Amino acid sequence: MFELILTIIAICFFPLLLWMMIASISVKTTYNRYSTVEAQSGLTAQEAARKILDANGLINVRIESCPGMLTDHYDPRVNTVYLSQATISSKSLAAIGVAAHEVGHAIQHAEDYAPVKMRTALVPVVNFTSRLITPLMLMGLIFELIAYTVNFLSAIFFMAALICYGAYALFTFITLPCEYNASKRARVQLAECSILTDEELEAAKKVLSSAAKTYLVSFFISLAQVARILLLLLGTRRRR
């Protein structure tokens, strides 16, 4: 029964990749749609972010520009909200929504939001293990093909890959509440600080919701990968 469940999850891997592609397209489409609609407040994304930060007593959090589009993020190591070049000076609903979301992460760190603390602690682990997954999987498959007598070696590599990908799956799982909570905080702050009207908030919500789906799909994909590696590991053990 356990193996059947793993098989079903593993089979979903490729449909999930397709879903991820669709979700990514949806993010860009939704962002582009509302990137041409300016907020009635006349504030830029940077000004809106600054207003929310100051309203929450986070006057020490800096706002700086970073290259690219939709590369916006908050870096707790330097206590800085980075807004992309396409976002920082824009007065659009999409840009303001994205900026407010990143400020939501800054508020999370200021309040010691538990999932964020766990996610931050996992970052160095995931950065290290993510580089090992592919070579470990390749070595496992190579030993699997060479000869039956070295099945135990392939099992070792698959087990190591399972641990590495398991860490990544845990990271994507913990990321979910961080992202959804940041979006929720963004909507609340945009309303309380009178940055967007009720109608404009609905548009910003669509932008944030489409982005959140990519994190959800990413978690499901990582889960499917764990199932695939487990099946390979069970296969080697069965032949030993």
CA distance 38 to 32: 12
Catalytic residues: 102
pLDDT, residue 121, reads: 87
Residue pair 59/79 in contact (Cβ under 8 Å)? The answer is no
pLDDT, residue 239, reads: 55
pLDDT, residue 126, reads: 76
pLDDT, residue 5, reads: 65
Question: Looking at residue 43, what DSSP letter applies?
Answer: -
Residue pair 199/121 in contact (Cβ under 8 Å)? The answer is no
CA atoms lying within 13 Å on the CB side of residue 103? 31
pLDDT, residue 81, reads: 97
Pick from 185, 180, 186: nearest CA to 213: 180
pLDDT, residue 115, reads: 94
pLDDT, residue 229, reads: 79
pLDDT, residue 163, reads: 83
Residue pair 164/174 in contact (Cβ under 8 Å)? The answer is no
Residue pair 7/231 in contact (Cβ under 8 Å)? The answer is yes
Residue pair 176/219 in contact (Cβ under 8 Å)? The answer is yes
Please give the model's pTM, rounded to 2 decimal places.
0.83
Q: What is the pLDDT along the chain (240 residues), one digit of tens a residue?
A: 656 666 666 677 788 888 888 888 888 899 999 999 999 999 999 999 999 999 999 999 999 999 988 899 999 999 999 999 999 999 999 999 999 999 999 999 999 999 999 988 888 877 777 676 667 666 666 655 554 555 666 677 777 778 888 888 898 999 999 999 999 999 999 999 999 999 999 999 999 998 888 899 989 988 888 888 787 777 665 555
CA distance 196 to 52: 12
